[in-house]
Amino acid sequence: MTSRQRPSFPARLDGSLAVVRATPTAPDLATTVTGSKAAAASPRSHGVGLDSQTVRMSMVSKLAAQGITDARVLAAMGKIERHRFVDSALVNQAYEDTSLPIGLGQTISKPGVVSRMAELLLGGRPGKIGRVLEIGTGCGYQAAVLSLLATEVYSIERLRGLHEKARDNLRPLRLPNVHLLFGDGMAGFAKGAPYAGIVAAAGGEAVPQAWTDQLAVGGRLVAPVAAAGRSQQALMVIDKTAQGLQQTVLEAVHFVPLKSGIA
Q: Give the residue numbers marked as catalytic.
A: 109
Contact 10, 238 (CB under 8 A): no
Q: CA-CA distance, 91 to 239, in Å (whole number)? A: 37
Closest CA to 54 of 73, 85, 33, 24: 33
CA-CA-CA-CA dihedral for 235, 19, 80, 171, to nearest 10: 10
Q: CA-CA distance, 163 to 158, in Å (whole number)? A: 8
**Residue 178 in 3-state DSSP?**
strand
Beta strands 195-200 and 178-182: pairing type? unpaired
Q: CA-CA distance, 76 to 107, in Å (whole number)? A: 20
Contact 258, 202 (CB under 8 A): yes
In eight-state DSSP terms, residue 58 is H
Contact 200, 120 (CB under 8 A): no
**Residue 35 in 3-state DSSP?**
coil
155 forms beta bridges with 134, 180
H helix and E strand count, the chain: 7, 11
Contact 204, 226 (CB under 8 A): yes
